[in-house]
Amino acid sequence: MTQNAARTLAALAAGIVFGFGLSLSGMLNPARVQGFLDVAGAWDPSLVFVLGGAVTVTFIGMLWVKKMPRPLLDEAFHLPSNKRIDAPLIFGSALFGIGWGLGGFCPGPAIAALPVGLFQSLVFVAFMLAGMSLHDRLSKRTRS
């Protein structure tokens, strides 16, 4: 098996596991997500366990990654080099949170819900792609 085929197979396996976990945890249900975000109303704390599990797995994974000389399927790790907290980061994070709260989706669950046929997911993904395209166009203008 070639290196490229192994990467593709690993990405497919990771995507399937991620999508299954999102489905199993209820993250594909916008009402459940919005119930979790409604801390002043009928709060649904069940997703705290999902988020806690995700943070725990990521923490353990990062400890393991830091001990590795290189990734299994690449020559080097591709970690972010920018560690600054600046206005674009804060604005983007706020916009992400607002979109998550209003739509009940974040990008992963929205894409994972597409095969289920949820209309809200289709609308969310369409607007997400439009926002990404707009961001790319605006970023190119400011760089040139």
Q: Is the pLDDT of residue 132 over 80?
A: yes
Mean pLDDT check: name the lowest of 25-39, 56-70, 78-92, 118-132.
25-39
pLDDT at 9: 94
pLDDT at 144: 65
Residue 138 carries which DSSP code?
H
pLDDT at 58: 92
Q: Is 61 left (phi over 0), alpha (psi -120 to 50) or beta?
A: alpha
pLDDT at 24: 87
pLDDT at 81: 87
Are the CB atoms for 47 and 33 separated by under 8 Å?
yes
Sign, CA torsion 52/128/113/36: positive
pTM greater than 0.75 (yes/no): no
DSSP letter for each residue of 26-53: TTT-HHHHHHHH-TTSS--THHHHHHHH
Q: What is the pLDDT of residues 52-111, one digit of tens each?
A: 998 999 999 999 988 999 998 888 988 888 889 999 889 989 988 888 888 888 888 888
The dihedrals phi and psi of 71, each to the nearest 5 degrees, come to: -65, 160
DSSP letter for each residue of 65-123: HHH-SS-TTSSS----------HHHHHHHHHHHHHHHHHS--HHHHHHTGGGT-HHHHH
Of the two residues 47 and 11, the one the predictor is more confident about is 11
pLDDT at 125: 92
pLDDT at 34: 83
The alpha carbon of residue 82 and the mean position of all alpha carbons in its chain are separated, in whole angstroms, by: 19
Predicted confidence band of residue 130 (pLDDT cuts 50, 70, 90):
very high
